[in-house]
Amino acid sequence: MEILTAPDELQQACLAHKKTKIIGLVPTMGFFHEGHLSLMDWTRKHCDILVVSLFVNPSQFGPGEDLDTYPRDAERDVRLAEQHGVDILFTPPAGSMYAADHATWVEVPDLARGLCGASRPVHFRGVATVVTKLFNLVQPHVAAFGEKDRQQLAIIRRMVRDLNMPVRVVGRPIVREPDGLAMSSRNAYLADKERRQAPALYRGLLDAEQWIKQGVVQVSALRERITAFYANHLPAGRLDYFEVVDPDSMSPVTEVRGPVVLAVALYLGKTRLIDNILVDPKSQTISK
């Protein structure tokens, strides 16, 4: 495995490979868990050269957020990347990715306005910009992202479509702990008591899915029920949002008439957790 830190070296290496090989990219902020590793494993099967970026991107953190304390373990990440067949691990310093007078941003404002964008107004601008930079450097044929960050995935897909970027963006299923909690690097912040409560975030979404299949299709009624559920099962939590949105546009709906995404964000102590599930009211299968 080759470890590169300079953007121009990464670009030169990938341009050379692209002449004869399929390149896959998995962008990450490191502190790898099974969700990251599943993205690497899937992409490894669909490319000749697997590139993984490990970069805690400062432009997607707002004032007062956890940029300085975001979990990091570079040595462990290098070991895991090597074990999972990564060919190039890109670990740039922030100064090499953003010039002191950096002034160019990529935005998809319609998709970034609600959900996480409401409480993190600069977040998706930073995400779209750094992913564009990575796509320019790596020029991958395929790039894989986790569906836990479904709003992010929708924004990247729209960005790729609108800017005619020649990359196939693939969303991969959420990887969960045995108790249902979606894997996230930020789960490391949870205190023991908070970690015991945290799986109720997913259970609430599953209950909401059952309510829909039982005929509760007004979003106002769903929100009332799930707010009560979280107040009861996550007493230490503070609900940021519960939204029911169109899977493609991420626009809120008021009534469930077809497939929708149930999305939730909740603060548990100082930790902000997010989760979502895709629900089809006509399907007889309950999400797992």
For 187-239, write each residue's pLDDT tens digit: 999 999 999 999 999 999 999 999 999 999 999 999 999 999 999 999 999 99
Convert the pLDDT of each residue in 93-117 to its tens digit. Answer: 999 999 999 999 999 999 999 999 9
Q: Is 287 domain-assigned?
A: no
Residue 36 lies in a domain: yes
Tell me what the mean pLDDT of segment 137-157 comes to: 98
Active site residues: 36
167 and 200 part of one domain: no
Ramachandran category for residue 172: left, alpha or beta (phi over 0 → left; psi -120 to 50 → alpha): beta
The predicted pLDDT at position 79 comes to 98
- Compute the distance between CA of residue 37 and CA of residue 84 in angstroms, rounded to an integer: 7
- Within-domain flag for 166: yes
Are 168 and 204 members of one domain?
no
Domain stops at, among 141, 172, 203: 172
* 140 shares a domain with 91: yes
Q: Judge if 30 and 118 occupy the same domain.
A: yes
45 and 158 co-located in one domain? yes
Tell whether 158 and 227 lie within a shared domain.
Answer: no
**Residue 288 in this model has a pLDDT that exceeds 80:** no
Residue 22 falls within a domain, yes or no?
Answer: yes
Region of 71 (left: φ > 0; alpha: ψ -120 to 50; beta: rest) is: beta
Are both 191 and 86 inside the same structural domain? no
What is the residue-averaged pLDDT of the chain? 97
Confidence band of 254 (pLDDT split at 50, 70, 90): very high
Statement to judge: residues 49 and 13 lie in one domain:
yes
Instruction: Count how many domains the chain has.
Output: 2
Confidence of residue 283 (pLDDT cuts 50, 70, 90): confident
Q: What is the CATH number of the domain that holds 81?
A: 3.40.50.620
Pairing status of strand 142-146 against strand 23-28: parallel
Please report, as a single letter, which amino acid is at residue 15. Answer: L
Beta bridge partners of 245: 252, 261
Residues 6+ apart with CB under 8 A from 1: 78, 81, 82, 86, 87, 88, 89
Tell me which residue range forms the domain holding 125: 2-172
Residue 32 is assigned to a structural domain of this protein: yes
Reference 141, options 45, 41, 55, 18; nearest CA is 18
Q: Is residue 180 part of a domain?
A: no
Residues 12 and 84 in one domain: yes
Task: With a cut of 80, say whether residue 284 has pLDDT above it.
Answer: no
pLDDT, average across residues 240-249: 96
Question: Where in the chain does DSSP place strands (E)?
Answer: 2-4, 23-28, 49-54, 88-90, 142-146, 168-172, 237-245, 260-268, 271-279
pLDDT of 104 reads 98
Same domain? For 18 and 46 the reply is yes
Is residue 177 domain-resident?
A: no
**Structure confidence at residue 285 as a pLDDT band (50, 70, 90):** confident
Residue 193 burial class via C-beta count within 10 angstroms: exposed 0-12, middle 13-18, buried 19 and up: exposed
Instruction: Tell me, yes or no, whether 160 and 240 share the same domain.
Output: no
34 with 142, same domain?
A: yes
106, 140, 172 - which closes a domain: 172
